[in-house]
């Protein structure tokens, strides 16, 4: 297969596919999905590239895109690539301070913004960003600040060179485009300090296209991908580029909270997601089973049991299932599994890449048992996403799959996973010390993740920087406990506390709706959520559920005390990163009094 350089990708595909649909987006005013053909995609990218020249954007200049997922993000990306410029995506949920840091660090002159939230955040720090010249607003509904004399809307931006007067310049730049050009700077979410700009070169992406063709040849131009995770994240960004290389259609989900609606409207064949999506599916099915009685309940339980044996004990291991088991499985495939998939909106699904956190074994087993092909993987921004992923057969539950072709991996000190290959970043933008700390003299990238490699399969054990040491000298891996406990349907978010403490405790954000339901069933009267969560019966409920789930852990690893929080962890208070990972330092600071109270004698 020919892998097109990102500077020409859209144009080459337009030549091949013409009026075939490349992108779709939801018009919220009419609740309709609007198609964008490859031809229209290419025309808009060409206009965008020309307008960028009209603005004075130079090759390898940094351009910011501060928006939720929109087709315009792709137009700006590929217009920039045609000019050999560099795009820097900011999370749509970034605070003004985060936006200010990135704009100043990357010396961004032109910042594309999505909707009102991003515009307001960007405009509020405009005066603190010496390099920033202009905001270009994607959404026409954005109301500009009365003091704003420089911002323009995207349609006005395109009109700057609707006649393509600068096309010769664009063509010359595209002709000079090289695999050694910088493509993106992706700022890490900063769980351990200030954000670092990961530089991804065009050669990183070209290698990713090649190795993904070997690993997932089944993705074709017949596929429909739901773009659900933020394009700012390397997982979704890399995946979107792979989809465009293969000619697959991308349906852009504008609002993450609407995924349960939009997925049913599109019914995609493929979709990247994080484990939390599948945990919620698993919890939903468990709740449904609990509510059922008699024959219906027995049938659902049997369907999961049959699927587990059929798919995991036979098909996964390349064995042919016995005829009676296969017939039973086929019956459930047309009934129980089909209904479940249709309810989620994935009955057309072929495979679903999943990464970003640990997948609980119970969830992984369940998803594969009901015939959903979840491809578990592992990757980092610094590795252009995929380091490893499940193969169709012989994948090991509890692992993160087989190492990608031609990527070297080995185990270093403290069981750290080290990687070397063409998908590895050359380093962090303007951070020579951080680069030297992460990439050693022999070119090995130090992931910060501890694990082991058996054959070609990677197993993650913990995040080295997040390892806790109790005051008794015992090491605790918080993620392992959090992953295990988070599958409970009553637990929405959890933060394990143990570092330099004498035992393990936890801050828990419950699923408030289920706790209220429990209170109704038990006749518990309460005046506030805080009062309800402190009720002895609710405390006992959580104690019992936690104790059941943590049985496999050593005594010193188990949660001894916990506090149920009346409100969730939030990005506004700095407790979560833009990718919804816990910032443990901030949580420890914000909840210091509560945490200390759990350790009082």
Please name which of 357, 383, 465 lies closest in space to residue 416, comparing C-alpha atoms: 465
Name the CATH superfamily housing domain 9-177+216-271. Answer: ANL, N-terminal domain (3.40.50.12780)
Q: How far is CA 266 from each of CA 68, 126, 218, 244, 470, rounded to the nearest angstrom?
A: 19, 38, 20, 18, 49
Rounded Cα gap, residues 465 and 497, in angstroms: 14
Alpha-helix residue ranges (DSSP H) falling in 197-258: 202-215, 234-246
Distance CA 102, CA 65 (A): 11
| Lookup result for tokens 């012989």 | 394
> Using CA atoms, how far apart are residues 450 and 461, in angstroms rounded to an integer?
6
**Strand, coil or helix: what is 21?**
strand
* CA separation for the pair 311, 329 (Å, rounded): 9
State the pTM of this model. Answer: 0.85
Cβ–Cβ under 8 Å, residues 285 and 307: no
Q: How far apart are CA 381 and CA 200, in angstroms?
A: 9
Containing 452, the helix (H) or strand (E) segment is strand 445-454
Residues of the chain short of pLDDT 50, as ranges, are none
| Non-local CB neighbours of 549 within 8 Å, separated by 6+ positions | 484, 485, 487, 488
Cβ atoms of 231 and 69 closer than 8 Å: yes
Q: Distance between CA atoms of 52 and 49, rounded to whole angstroms?
A: 5
pLDDT at 600: 84
- φ, ψ of residue 299 in degrees (nearest 5): -65, -40
Rounded CA separation 78/333 (Å) = 42
In this prediction, residue 472 carries a pLDDT of 67
Q: Is the Cβ–Cβ distance between 123 and 151 less than 8 Å?
A: yes
Q: What is the mean pLDDT of the chain?
A: 93
**Alpha-carbon torsion angle 261, 266, 269, 273, nearest 10:** -40
Element (H, E) at 101: helix 96-105
Compute the radius of gyration of the chain from its Cα atoms.
25
Three-class secondary structure of residue 530 per DSSP? helix
Provide the sign of the torsion angle of the four alpha carbons 456, 459, 362, 305, taken in this order: positive
pLDDT at position 190: 56
CA dihedral 578, 141, 154, 240 (to 10 degrees): 40
Tens of pLDDT, residue by residue over 201-233, are 999 999 999 999 999 999 999 999 999 999 999
Query: Which two three-digit tokens encode residue 515?
Result: 């706790």
Q: Enumerate residues 6+ apart whose C-beta is below 8 A from 450.
A: 414, 415, 416, 417, 460, 461, 462, 463, 464, 467
What is the longest distance spanned by two Cα atoms in the chain?
A: 76
Q: Give residue 193's pLDDT.
A: 59
> Who's near 124: CB < 8 A, 6+ residues apart?
96
Give the pLDDT confidence score for residue 563 in this predicted structure: 95
Domain at 467-598: CATH architecture? 2-Layer Sandwich (3.30)
Every domain range in the chain assigned CATH 3.40.50.12780:
9-177+216-271
3-state secondary structure of 563: strand
Give pLDDT tens digits for 51-83. 999 999 999 999 999 999 999 999 999 999 999
- What are φ and ψ of residue 185, in 5° steps? -120, 115
pLDDT of residue 507: 95
Structural contact between residues 13 and 209, judged by C-beta atoms closer than 8 angstroms: no
Length of the chain: 601
SS3 of 584, please?
helix
Range(s) within the chain of domains with CATH label 3.30.300.30 = 467-598
Handedness of CA 552, 558, 563, 568 (dihedral sign): negative
Q: Please give the pLDDT value at position 291.
A: 85
């Amino acid at each position: 297969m020919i892998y097109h350089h990102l500077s020409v990708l859209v144009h080459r595909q337009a030549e091949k596919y013409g009026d075939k649909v490349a992108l779709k987006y939801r018009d919220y005013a009419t609740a309709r999905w609007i198609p964008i053909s490859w031809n229209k995609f290419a025309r808009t990218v060409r206009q965008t590239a020309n307008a960028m020249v009209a603005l004075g954007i130079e090759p390898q200049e940094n351009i910011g895109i501060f928006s939720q997922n929109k087709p315009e993000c792709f137009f700006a990306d590929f217009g920039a690539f045609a000019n050999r410029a560099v795009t820097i995506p900011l999370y749509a949920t970034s605070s003004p301070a985060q936006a200010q840091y990135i704009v100043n660090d990357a010396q961004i002159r032109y910042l594309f913004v999505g909707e009102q939230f991003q515009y307001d955040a960007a405009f509020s720090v405009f005066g603190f960003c010496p390099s920033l010249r202009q905001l270009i607003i994607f959404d026409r509904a954005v109301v500009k600040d009365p003091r704003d004399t420089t911002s323009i809307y995207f349609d006005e931006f395109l009109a700057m060179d609707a006649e393509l007067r600068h096309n010769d310049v664009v063509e010359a730049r595209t002709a000079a485009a090289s695999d050694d050009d910088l493509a993106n700077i992706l700022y890490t979410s900063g769980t351990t300090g200030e954000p670092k700009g990961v530089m991804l070169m065009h050669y990183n992406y070209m290698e990713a296209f090649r190795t993904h063709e070997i690993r997932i040849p089944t993705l074709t131009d017949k596929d429909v991908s739901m773009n659900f995770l933020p394009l700012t994240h390397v997982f979704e960004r890399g995946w979107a580029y792979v989809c465009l290389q293969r000619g697959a259609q991308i349906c852009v989900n504008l609002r993450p909270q609407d995924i349960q609606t939009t997925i049913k409207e599109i019914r995609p064949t493929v979709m990247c997601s994080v484990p939390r999506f599948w945990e919620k599916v698993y919890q939903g099915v468990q709740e449904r089973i609990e509510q059922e009685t008699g024959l219906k309940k027995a049938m659902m339980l049997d369907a999961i049991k049959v699927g587990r044996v059929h798919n995991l004990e036979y098909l996964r291991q390349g064995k042919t299932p016995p005829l009676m088991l296969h017939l039973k499985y086929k019956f459930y495939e047309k009934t129980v599994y089909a209904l479940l998939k249709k309810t989620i909106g994935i009955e057309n699904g072929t495979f679903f890449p999943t990464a970003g956190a640990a997948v609980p074994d119970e969830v992984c087993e369940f998803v594969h048992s009901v015939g959903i092909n979840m491809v578990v993987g592992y990757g980092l921004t610094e590795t252009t996403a995929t380091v490893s992923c499940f193969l169709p057969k012989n994948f090991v539950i509890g692992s993160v799959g087989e190492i990608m072709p031609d990527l070297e991996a080995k185990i270093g000190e403290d069981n750290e996973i080290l990687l070397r290959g063409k998908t590895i970043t050359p380093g962090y933008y303007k951070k020579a010390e951080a680069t030297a700390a992460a990439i050693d003299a022999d070119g090995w990238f130090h992931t910060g993740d501890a694990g082991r490699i058996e054959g070609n399969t990677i197993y993650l054990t913990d995040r080295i920087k997040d390892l806790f040491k109790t005051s008794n000298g015992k090491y605790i891996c918080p993620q392992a406990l959090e992953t295990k406990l988070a599958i409970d349907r009553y637990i929405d978010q959890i933060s394990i506390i143990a570092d330099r403490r004498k035992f393990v405790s936890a801050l828990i954000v419950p699923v408030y709706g289920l706790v209220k339901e429990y209170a109704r069933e038990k006749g518990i009267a309460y005046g506030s959520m805080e009062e309800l969560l402190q009720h002895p019966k609710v405390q006992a409920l959580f104690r019992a559920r936690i104790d059941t789930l943590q049985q496999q852990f050593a005594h010193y690893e188990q949660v001894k005390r916990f506090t149920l929080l009346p409100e969730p962890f939030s990005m506004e208070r700095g407790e979560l990163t833009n990718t919804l990972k816990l910032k443990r330092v901030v949580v420890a600071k914000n909840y210091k009094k509560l945490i200390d109270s759990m350790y009082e004698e």
